[in-house]
Amino acid sequence: MTRVLAAIDNSLAASPVLAIARALAPLLDSDVEVLHLVENGDRMATQAALAAGLTLTSRRGPVIKSIIEAGRCADVAVLVVGARGTPAGPRPLGGTALAVATGLPKPIVVVPPDAHITGVIRRVLVPVEGAPAGTAPILDVVEDAELDMIVLHVYEEDSLPAFTDQPQHWQETWAREFVRRYCPWHTGPLRLETRVGRAEDLIPRVAEEVNADIIALGWTLDLGPGRAPTVHGVLDRSRRPVLLVPVAIGHPY
């Protein structure tokens, strides 16, 4: 049995983190473990865990190092963290979330404090820029789950396919090829959405339009200056939880 590890702080941001952890667990056939590194008390963290019906494990020690070490355990399938303590907090991520996300080469779900939470994950938005090869690790995370999967293919204006004068033709062709090559196991609904423009602007907008429960993005664990503009923009703008899945260096995310 694997674990979904939810790392929470002593703030109101703990509740949406726990809600997403509970929603992920049945998809991954996992248990939920709640970890709190005590810095300024644990009253709100304890209340959030009790309200979610989960047991809280409180520890003392260096916060970032302790969370990363806990996340490295072989049976941890996914780590869930809050993006920031409040909606007005640092963007795209608070200091702890940024350090943990870039220091742990595992799937991580980043949850905004004002996240749209349904309690059940039924629909996932998988954005794609350019060639879809980098999506394979993303889709592997939820390989056995029955999900309504929406693949969003974002084009820049200067990279439109040569046959866009027949959009119904290239969309159907691309969708069939995507399913054949990258998710032949997928048995639930899957559809393709396409947009033209800046991915970092369009992805959060489309997530709202299609009512996605979570956005899944591949990334290279680098949010340094000039790096991963799509991930940076989505984390900054999205009110939906974002699943970050490590992919090979060189992918555009």
Residues 148 and 233 placed together within one structural domain of the fold: yes
Which CATH number goes with the domain that contains 55? 3.40.50.620
What is the per-residue DSSP string for 199-239? Answer: HHHHHHHHHHHTT-SEEEEEE-S--STTS-HHHHHHHHH-S
Taking the C-alpha atoms of residue 135 and residue 95, their distance in angstroms, rounded to an integer, is 27
pLDDT, position 222:
84
Domain presence at residue 117? no
Identify any residues that bridge with 215 across adjacent strands, giving them in sequence order.
Answer: 125, 242
Taking the C-alpha atoms of residue 152 and residue 24, their distance in angstroms, rounded to an integer, is 21
Residues 128 and 230 placed together within one structural domain of the fold: yes
pLDDT, position 23:
94
State the first-to-last Cα distance of the chain, in angstroms, to the nearest integer.
31
Domain presence at residue 251? no
Residues 94 and 169 placed together within one structural domain of the fold: no
Residues 73 and 138 placed together within one structural domain of the fold: no
Residue 184, domain extent: 123-246
Residues 149 and 179 placed together within one structural domain of the fold: yes
Q: Which of 84, 91, 135 is nearest to 114 (CA)?
A: 84
Domain presence at residue 136? yes
Q: How do the pLDDT tens digits run along the chain, 253 residues long? A: 899 999 999 998 999 999 999 999 998 889 999 999 998 888 999 999 999 999 999 999 999 999 999 999 999 999 999 998 777 777 778 888 989 999 999 999 999 998 888 888 989 998 876 544 445 445 555 555 678 888 888 877 665 555 555 555 556 666 666 666 655 555 566 788 888 888 899 999 999 999 999 999 888 888 877 778 888 889 989 999 999 988 754 444 4
Please check whether residue 137 is in contact with residue 218, taking contact to mean a CB–CB distance below 8 angstroms: yes
pLDDT, position 252:
41
pLDDT, position 31:
96
The domain tally of the chain equals 2
Taking the C-alpha atoms of residue 212 and residue 116, their distance in angstroms, rounded to an integer, is 9
The CA angle 71-73-78, to the nearest 5 degrees, is 45
pLDDT, position 250:
43
Q: Which of 81, 116, 88, 87 is nearest to 102 (CA)?
A: 81
Last residue of a domain, one of 111, 140, 157: 111
Domain presence at residue 220? yes
Residues 131 and 226 placed together within one structural domain of the fold: yes
Taking the C-alpha atoms of residue 60 and residue 211, their distance in angstroms, rounded to an integer, is 39
Residues 221 and 200 placed together within one structural domain of the fold: yes
* Number of residues that this document lists for the chain: 253
Domain presence at residue 252? no
Q: Is 1 exposed, middle or buried (0-12, 13-18, 19+ CB in 10 A)?
A: exposed
Domain presence at residue 146? yes
pLDDT, position 111:
95
